[in-house]
Amino acid sequence: MRQPRVYLDLALQTGDVITLPPETSHYLTQVLRLKSGDLLLPFNAVNGEYSAAIDKSDRKHTSIIIQEQRRAPLPEALSVHLGLGLSRGDRMDLAIQKSTELGVAAITPLYTQYSEVKFKQADRIDKKLNHWRKIAVSAAEQSGRLSVPKLQQPMAIEQWLETTDSQMKLILTPGGNTRFAELSASDSCDLLIGSEGGFSPEEVKLSKKSAFVEVTMGQRVMRTETAPIAALAILQYRFGDI
């Protein structure tokens, strides 16, 4: 069986014995049925990826022994902060999953004028964020990444625009007059993509006041869950590590 990769937000060092978080322990021992002596690959962006073995396991606790380092932490060639309009159903889940696989550094869900999703209760926001973070962790484990993107609290697009500070700022619109091939090299990018209904003219105007450039996919109008995949793949090819 292939050794499972497991994201651990804990210090990893050769020789250490680590007690796993309950949810991780349950997944490894109850879902994957790992037992004492079985191997796994814990990782995070700070320490890199290590080989490890299950040390002890019971119904309440699982400990692992950290072995040698397999991969050292490396900085991302391109840091992309994705501002993504909130969408319904599985669309948001898919966008977060695939954006993680394509190396996005941070994702902020955005309330936009045409978005039909509004979270009014704090506990519902927390529940959704926890759900999205699990999707991001799983996608990082599957894709071989060492880092997991930061999932920020949902906020209004106007508020997010005030926080952006990357060298390159892009808003994806059907009416954009700049192609991805025309962009100058950069190692950081704020990428703005709308929900199902796209952006209102007022939001596009507001983004341009914050120095965002309208980019286009040519004659193609993509779904909100497809647009991040296409845009991130192009950006990684041009300025990242693909």
129 and 105 in a single domain? The answer is yes
232 and 182 in a single domain? The answer is yes
- pLDDT at 175 (0 to 100): 84
172 and 232 in a single domain? The answer is yes
End position of a domain, from candidates 71, 101, 123 = 71
What CATH number is given to the structural domain containing 31?
A: 2.40.240.20
Cα–Cα dist 33/28, whole Å: 6
- pLDDT at 120 (0 to 100): 66
66 and 89 in a single domain? The answer is no
End position of a domain, from candidates 42, 71, 100 = 71
What CATH number is given to the structural domain containing 109?
A: 3.40.1280.10
Q: Is 15 left (phi over 0), alpha (psi -120 to 50) or beta?
A: left
- pLDDT at 59 (0 to 100): 73
Q: What is the pLDDT of residues 188-212, one digit of tens each?
A: 999 999 998 899 999 999 999 999 9
100 and 191 in a single domain? The answer is yes
41 and 138 in a single domain? The answer is no
Cα–Cα dist 77/188, whole Å: 9
235 and 123 in a single domain? The answer is yes
End position of a domain, from candidates 24, 40, 71 = 71
Q: What is the pLDDT of residues 70-121, one digit of tens each?
A: 999 988 899 999 999 998 879 999 999 999 999 999 999 999 998 877 776 6
198 and 229 in a single domain? The answer is yes
pLDDT interval class at 184 (50, 70, 90): very high
Cα–Cα dist 169/190, whole Å: 5
Q: What is the pLDDT of residues 120-161, one digit of tens each?
A: 666 688 899 999 999 999 999 999 999 999 999 999 999 999
Q: What is the pTM of this model?
A: 0.93
61 and 131 in a single domain? The answer is no
Domain count, the chain: 2
Domain of residue 161 covers 79-239
Q: What is the pLDDT of residues 219-232, one digit of tens each?
A: 888 999 999 999 99
43 and 139 in a single domain? The answer is no
Q: What is the pLDDT of residues 15-60, one digit of tens each?
A: 999 999 999 999 999 899 999 999 999 999 999 999 999 999 877 7
- pLDDT at 122 (0 to 100): 61
84 and 51 in a single domain? The answer is no
Does position 3 have pLDDT exceeding 70, yes or no?
Answer: yes
157 and 182 in a single domain? The answer is yes
Does position 1 have pLDDT exceeding 70, yes or no?
Answer: no
